[in-house]
Amino acid sequence: MEVSFSKEIESLRLGAGDTFHGEGILAITKALLQSGVAYIGGYQGAPVSHLLDVMVQARPYMDELGVHVEACSNEASAAAMLGASIHYPLRGAVTWKSIVGTNVAADALSNLSSPGVTGGALIVVGEDYGEGASVIQERTHAFALKSSMCLLDPRPDLEVMTRMVEQGFCLSEASNMPTILELRIRACHVRGSFAARDNRPPAISTRALMENPAVFDYMRLAHPPVTFRHEKLKTEQRIPAARRYIVENKLNELFAGRHDDLGVIVQGGLYNALVRSLQQLGLADAFGDTEIPLLVLNVTYPLVPEQVADFCAGKRAVLVVEEGQPEFIEQEIATLLRRRDLQTKLHGKDLLPSGGEYTVEVLATGLTQFAASYLPGPATEDARRWLAGNQERRQAAAAVLEQPLPARPPGFCIGCPERPVFSALKLAQQQIGNVHIAADIGCHAFGTFEPFSMGHSILGYGMSLASRAGVSPMMQRRTLAIMGDGGFWHNGLLTGVQSALFNGDDAVLLIFKNGYTSATGTQEILSTPDEGAKSRASDKGRSLAHTNQTIEAALKGLGVQWLRTVHTYEVGKVRATLIDAFTSEFNGLKVIVAEGECQLERQRRLKPWLASLLHKGERVVRVKYGVDEDVCNGDHACIRLSGCPTLTLKDNPDPLKVDPVATVIDGCVGCGLCGENAHAATLCPSFYRAEVVQNPRWHERLLHTFRSAIVRALQPA
């Protein structure tokens, strides 16, 4: 991992008397250390990658504190790590992206929740829901309910968020339930400050080891017959204990307001958006002073029935603001109101949408309807005017544009090593016909966008090979599964490769070996080349070919017999290898390992190195590609085959031609794909390769002067 988090690591060292300033997710990281956490693990993924990335780089400081940090191979291994807190009074925290990561971790979480924990177990999940999310839209709440884990959804304020970390551990210990700390995207990125406290080295740690293991206790195993007792303990002891702790320590917050015959019950994470929307109705100010009483649920599971009932009693109506579906909280409140025969009218999903993010505008629309029923008057009119004004501005902006703005889907980085393989696949399919492509999670999923539009399904991280198992036997042509090296180690090796080999499946698997889990922030993996390999590769300017054979060795070890390694940028060879795999006589799993280092990571390494050479006055050569505009025939086949953002269009300089010509703009990293595609697809010969020499040697300057003079002489006066 090349990005340096040295500043962040410094802020982890703050102590009593200091003020922490920064982003929510870093504040959570600091709060873990203040809470005496003994071990930390996880699997990276937005929006919580930062937590683990910082902790991994801060290992020397963690060693000082005696805290163990583990970059786990997937979320299941992270969740299983919490098993340390079953017997031992160790506080442990793990992190991942949810809902997908929680799905992967579900088995271990069930087996952890059943016996319960002794030491506090905190699961920091990045709730990737709403605008900006990158995964399927589901709620972690369902997992908390089914496995009886406490669920915190803190108000996005650094003081509250960091308090909830400490309280989360205490709540877990008081109830024996693992606790999930749900951080929405906006909460992770909210900025603010809080009064730091000293970090607490854990009592049992890597520096203060336990002498003996715990005594054998069958009750700590998730195995019948004790699982029947565990199920009863959840409702008889653990949930009541959690509720007591929530009330005694005021984990949920009550905000009074002058309209005390009304109320809003809101998930803590939505508090900021709610207050901003109340402002549009004139029912709150910018500092959060509200006119409608609020019950802010920093703990969304378990609810405390008495607390909710007390809040609702005597009110004409209460609105539940709960993002996503199903409306677990609203349903539970409806039940408890009915059981207590409280006649308070309950609103929620009747006024607010069942799915999608609750932005300020969405909330203001629902609140306007609520206010229209119970607070008719200027508040409703103000909000209606504001909402109508937003619509008018949108329509005015649309009217200025003659046609809607084109969509701008994300795509591969400039010079990405994965783009050429999709070019080769496009060319291969022209020859063998279209194939079923099982896509996967990772940067290669950008291949599902234009100009490639390849991939029939995505079933999860590392799941592509497994996901074609039902398709292959039904298809005349072989199927293709695409997987990254990140996905291979996360899940694909066992879920896909082992299963395909065991069942003797006839399929093709293409593994992108770019050296990192690039899509989550270029974290290192088992097959990341070592530092020596990196520096050797840097001046060759190509990939890290054959520097780490872990993937190939694992495949051979499992018994893969048809295995080819290709260089991603060699489009012609990749095409030939794909065709070979699809037409080979060999009946079984065929694996193509496509090597080419992540360009983002390569540039991060190369740029400072080149800058240092220039600084020292040393000669530096950069490769650039270009298009001869006189030769370009304007059919743009090169663009349809590449999609590189720096290969684009410009007006045709020939006044007699109307079609724009292709051009390579600044930013080209000289990956060579333009030339490879032109050769492999026999495109027009308009591409040229140029070398830009900085700090040239004396004979190069002399040659340049000589050449320039000849060119000038040949040009008409």
Q: Which residues of the chain form contacts with ligand SF4 (CB under 6 A)?
A: 412-416, 418, 443, 514, 518-519, 598-600, 625, 642, 644, 646-647, 664, 668-674
Residue from 154, 185, 305 nearest 239 by CA? 305
Given a contact cutoff of 8 angstroms between Cβ atoms, the answer to whether 19 and 193 are in contact is yes
Instruction: Give 302's DSSP letter.
Output: S
Q: How far apart, in whole angstroms, are the C-alpha atoms of residue 647 and residue 639?
A: 7
CB of 446 to ligand SF4, least distance (A): 6
* Minimum distance from residue 413 beta carbon to ligand SF4 (Å): 3
Residue 413 or 544: the one with the smaller Cβ distance to ligand SF4 is: 413
- For residues 568 and 574, the answer to whether their CB atoms sit within 8 Å is yes
Smallest separation (angstroms) from ligand SF4 to the CB of 56: 19
Output 84 or 680, the one with its CB closest to ligand SF4: 680
Whether the Cβ atoms of residue 316 and residue 263 lie closer than 8 Å to each other: no
CB 333 within 8 A of CB 384: no
Distance of closest approach, residue 522 Cβ to ligand SF4, in angstroms: 6
Residue 512 C-beta: closest distance to ligand SF4, Å: 7
Q: For ligand SF4, which is the closer residue by CB, 86 or 661?
A: 661
Q: Are 263 and 295 in contact (CB under 8 A)?
A: yes
When the beta carbons of 120 and 596 are compared against ligand SF4, the nearer one is 596
AA identity, residue 1:
M
Written as one string, the DSSP assignment of 130-181 is: STT--S----THHHHHHHT-EEE---S-HHHHHHHHHHHHHHHHHH---EEE
Compare residues 239 and 483 and give the one whose CB is closer to ligand SF4.
483
Nearer to ligand SF4, 358 or 446 (CB): 446
Give the single-character DSSP code of 204. Answer: S
- Give me the DSSP letters along 244-296: HHHHHTT-SEEE--S-TTEEEEEEGGGHHHHHHHHHHTTSB-TT--BSS-EEE
The nearer residue to ligand SF4, 167 or 599, going by C-beta atoms, is 599
The least distance separating ligand SF4 from the CB of residue 641, rounded to whole angstroms, comes to 10
In angstroms, give the least distance from the CB of 281 to ligand SF4: 44
Q: CB of residue 598 vs ligand SF4: minimum separation in angstroms? A: 3
Q: Other CB atoms closer than 10 Å to residue 209's CB: what's the count?
A: 8
Question: How far, in Å, CA of 561 to CA of 591, rounded?
Answer: 9
Beta-strand relationship, 19-23 and 191-195: antiparallel
Q: Which residues pair with 650 in a beta bridge?
A: 661
- What is the torsional sign of CA 545, 549, 550, 552? positive
CB contact burial 465-481 (16+ within 10 A = b; e otherwise) = bbbbbeebeeeeebbbb
Cβ proximity to ligand SF4: between 344 and 646 the closer is 646
Least distance in Å: CB of 390 to ligand SF4?
A: 35
Least distance (Å) from ligand SF4 to the CB of residue 443?
3
Residue with Cβ nearer ligand SF4 (374 or 512)? 512
For ligand SF4, the closer CB: 72 or 598:
598
Q: Quick one: which of 390, 392, 383 has its CA closest to 365?
A: 383
Minimum CB–partner distance for residue 673 and ligand SF4 (Å): 4
The span from the CA of 717 to the CA of 714, in Å, is 9
Cis peptide before 653 (omega within 30 of 0): no
Which CB, 205 or 514, lies closer to ligand SF4? 514
